[in-house]
């Protein structure tokens, strides 16, 4: 009987060690990014340890019918930037000016990829980018992005919800989701996010 109890205790202890603690989700009204990349797990939370917000907007020069809205996280201590941009047709942006959240939850979002001539494929998609110092002795930076030529590698992008938060009025849309993809350095990226998107591009 004692032997059985001892084995049971060992089994419980072994199972307990394999369970990773669940990180608490930062409160609504706070942007954050959790990411696994280059063999490291990092968590960036707005307002903690030098983490600040940086807004990014963009459009393709060779495709003026596509516009981008997004938000970013900057680690000012380690000088690391992360940006998540949502691209879609300019016509869709104009059509949804009364309710911008429809741009994010009106169907599945894929990554924006390029054809063999490096033109964007499709009419909407997401681009995740990062940049960091190349080394400690220079001012050069290395940058990587999910904006790649199309291939067969599996990718995941899920927008869980997009909403207005009353404390930021209507200037920002909060977008939450998770992602899994490949970067331009052929390394896998995986994580989850909550970003603050300024929808007024003018």
State the pLDDT at residue 19.
58
Distance separating alpha carbons of residues 56 and 74, to the nearest angstrom: 12
In the predicted model, what is the mean pLDDT of residues 62-71? 78
Q: pLDDT tier at 130 (50, 70, 90 boundaries)?
A: very high
The residue among 38, 34, 59, 58 whose CA lies nearest residue 48 is 34
The answer to whether the beta carbons of residues 181 and 146 sit under 8 Å apart is yes
CA 113 from centroid of its chain's CA atoms: 16
State the pLDDT at residue 202.
57
Q: Where are the domains of the chain?
A: 28-198
What does DSSP assign to residue 84?
E
Strands in 90-187 per DSSP E = 125-133, 141-145, 156-163, 172-182
Distance separating alpha carbons of residues 174 and 53, to the nearest angstrom: 13
- The pTM score is 0.83
Q: pLDDT tier at 6 (50, 70, 90 boundaries)?
A: very low
CA 162 from centroid of its chain's CA atoms: 14
194 in helix, strand or coil? strand
Residue 136 has pLDDT above 80, yes or no: no
Range with lowest mean pLDDT among 7-11, 33-37, 43-47: 7-11
State the pLDDT at residue 103.
86
DSSP for 84-113, please give it.
Answer: EEEEEEHHHHHHTTT-TTHHHHSS---B--
Residue 10 has pLDDT above 50, yes or no: no
Percentage of residues of the chain with pLDDT beyond 70? 80
């Amino acid at each position: 009987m004692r032997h059985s109890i001892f084995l049971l205790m060992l089994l419980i202890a072994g199972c307990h060690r394999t369970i990773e603690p669940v990180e608490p989700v930062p409160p609504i009204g706070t942007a954050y990014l959790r990411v696994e990349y280059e063999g490291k797990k990092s968590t960036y939370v707005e307002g903690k340890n030098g983490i600040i917000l940086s807004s990014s907007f963009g459009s393709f020069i060779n495709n003026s019918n596509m516009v981008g809205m997004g938000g970013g996280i900057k680690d000012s201590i380690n000088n690391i930037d992360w940006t998540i941009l949502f691209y879609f047709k300019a016509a869709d942006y104009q059509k949804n000016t009364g309710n911008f959240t429809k741009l994010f939850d009106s169907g599945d979002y894929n990554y924006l990829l390029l054809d063999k001539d490096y033109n964007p494929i499709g009419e909407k998609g997401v681009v995740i980018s990062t940049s960091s110092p190349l080394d400690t002795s220079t001012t050069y930076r290395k940058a990587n992005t999910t904006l790649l030529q199309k291939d067969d590698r599996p990718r995941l992008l899920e927008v869980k919800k997009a909403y207005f938060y009353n404390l930021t009025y209507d200037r920002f849309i909060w977008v939450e989701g998770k992602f899994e993809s490949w970067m331009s350095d052929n390394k896998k990226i995986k994580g989850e996010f909550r970003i603050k998107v300024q929808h007024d591009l003018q």
